[in-house]
Amino acid sequence: MGKSVVIDPITRIEGHLAIKVEVEQDRIVNAECRGEMFRGFEVFLRGRDPMDAQQITQRICGVCPISHGIASILAQDMAYQIRLPSNGRLVRNLIQGANFIQSHIIHFYHLSALDFIDIAAITKYTGQDPILLELKTWVEFQISSKMLYPAAPFLPRYESQYLDNVEINIQAIKHYLDALEMRKLAHKMAAIFCGKIPHAATLIPGGVSEHVNAQKIINYFEILKKLHVFIDTVYLPDVIAVAKAFPQYFKMGKGCNNFLAFGVFKESADSDITFLPGGVVMSSNYMAFNSSKITEDVRYSRYSSQSGSHPTQGETIADPHKTGAYSWLKAPRYDGQTMEVGPLARIIAAYVSGKSPLVTTTINQTISQLNIPFEDLVSVMGRHLVRALETKLIAEQCFKWLDQLVPDAPCVEPFTIPSSGEGVGLTEAPRGALGHWIEIADKKIKNYQCVVPTTWNCSPRDDKGNPGPVELALIGTSVSDIKNPIEAARVVRSFDPCIACAVH
C-alpha cells in the first residue's frame, strides 16, 4: 500500500497550488494537482464594454499582465478587423520581450534556485560585501534559533542535497540579490513604452497608445544592454553550473512528451510569422497548429459547465461541491491529448519544425557543451536550461526590433467597435500558450474565455481520466525521503506555475 504525501501549499510559485502524490517503494505512482481558488474573471466580463477587456484581464495576474493584455487586444484586433502599423507591432514586441526577460529571471533566481542553492553556505562568507554580511548574520541567527523565526523565502526549507561548493553557493546567493535589480530594470524597460508595470496602460486594439521618439529608444537600449550582459555572464552560467551539479534532473520530470506553442512576437502585420514559431509536437513529430482542436474538460474540475467544449462555446459555472472534482482548474486538451506548454514547448516546436535556424544552432551548441542528448531537454533541468536560452534569444532580438522603430511614425490604427463580432488572441506568455476568445453583441461582451498556460500544465485529469502534464511529470519521480519531498517540489517548480492565471 502506497503512502500519501500532500504538499499544501507549493511555495515559491504564483498562487495557491497543492499536490497530492502516492509513493510506493520511494517512487511516485499517482499524482493530483489541485488549484485551490476560484476568481471568475470570465463571469464579470460579460456585459461590459469590449475596451474594458485588456484592462480587466491584466488583473488576472500581477506577474503575467502584459501577456493577458496582448492576448486581449489581439482578439479585439481580429474582431474589429484592424491591421497594425509597423511601430505598433514592434512596440508590442518590445513590451512583451521585456516582460519575458523579467519573468524568466525571477523564476530561476527567486522561485527555483533555492531548490538547489545552499543558503547556509553564506555562514562561511569571509568577504566584505555589506549586504552579504548582513544576510550572513541573519541566516546565522535563524539557524542558531533552530528557525523559531522562519523567514521566507530562505528558511525553513527541505533538508536535502544542495550545491556542495561553498564558493559557487555564495556567488549564486549574490546573484539572487543582483537579480532583484535586474528584474526591476526589465520592468522599467517595459514601462518606457507601456506607461507602468504591472497592468500596462498603453495596450489598446490597433497597436499601442504610446508615442515613439528617439529618447525612448535610447532609454530602452541602455537598459537592454545591462540586461543582456547579466543574461550572458550571470544567468546562463548559473543555470549551466546547476545543470552540471544535478545531472540526474535531466532524467526526471519527463511528463507527457506532447508540446503545444501558439507562436509569439509577430514579424509582420500581414502574416502569421513569429520570431518564436508555433506548432504541435507529438512523439517528436511536428504538425501545424489548428485552434479548432482545443477543448476543455471539467469532469474533475469544480465546474458544472459543459465538458469538452471549444472555448468559443465555453462556460464558467462554478460548482464548489462537485462530487469527484479536486481542482479549480479545467483540463484543456488538444485533439484530445494532454499537452505541455511553456519555454520547453516553444523551443522544441522551433527545433523540430526547423523554422528557426537560430534556435537550432543555440540548442545544438548548448547540449554539446553539456554532453547530453536533445531528448534530455524534456526534463526538470531541461526546462530551466531552455528558459535561460530563450531569455538570451529574446533579449538579442529586442535590439533588432529597436532598430526597426521609426520615431514619430504612427503606433496605432484608428478603429470603431462593431455591433457584433468575434475574435481570438493567441500568443505566448512566459509560461506558455495563452488564448483569449471574445464574442461581441450589441457592442458589449457576450462571452469571454481564457485558456492559459498553467491551466494546460497543471490541469487535473480529463474526462477520460488522463492526467495533466505536471501530474504525469510527477509520476515515476523518485522521492528519497517522503518527509522531505524536495524532488516533487523541484518537478512542479520547473513548470513555473501561475495558479492565479490558471483559475482566473
135 lies in a domain? no
Q: Report the alpha-carbon angle 447-452-455, nearest 5.
A: 110
Q: Average pLDDT in the 147-176 region?
A: 80
- For the chain, the average pLDDT equals 94
CB-based contacts of 483, cutoff 8 Å, min separation 6:
none
Which ranges in 279-339 belong to alpha helices (H)?
none
Question: At residue 147, does pLDDT exceed 70?
Answer: no
127 lies in a domain? no
125 lies in a domain? no
Q: What is the per-residue pLDDT across 102-135, written as a single tens digit (0 to 9) for each?
A: 999 999 999 999 999 998 899 999 999 999 999 8
Q: Average pLDDT in the 491-498 region?
A: 96
Residue 440's φ and ψ, nearest 5 degrees, are: -115, 135
Please tell me the predicted confidence (pLDDT) of residue 106.
96
Q: What is the CATH number of the domain that holds 416?
A: 1.10.645.10
Q: How far apart are CA 432 and CA 85, in angstroms?
A: 26
Q: What percent of the chain has pLDDT over 70?
A: 98
Q: Give the H/E segment covering residue 424.
A: strand 420-429
Q: What is the per-residue pLDDT across 21-78, written as a single tens digit (0 to 9) for each?
A: 999 999 999 999 999 888 889 999 999 999 999 999 999 988 889 999 999 999 999 9
What's the distance, Cα to Cα, between the start and end of the chain in Å? 37
Instruction: Place 398 in a pLDDT band, splitting at 50, 70 and 90.
Output: very high
Please tell me the predicted confidence (pLDDT) of residue 1.
61
Question: At residue 145, does pLDDT exceed 70?
Answer: yes
Q: How far apart are CA 17 and CA 107, in angstroms?
A: 16
381 lies in a domain? yes
136 lies in a domain? no
Q: What is the per-residue pLDDT across 246-276, written as a single tens digit (0 to 9) for each?
A: 999 999 999 999 999 999 999 998 888 999 9
* Domains identified in the chain, total number: 1
Question: At residue 146, does pLDDT exceed 80?
Answer: no
330 lies in a domain? yes
264 lies in a domain? yes
Least confident range of 145-154, 157-166, 329-338, 379-388: 145-154
**Domain extent at residue 479:** 3-118+162-503
C-alpha 387, offset from chain centre? 9
126 lies in a domain? no
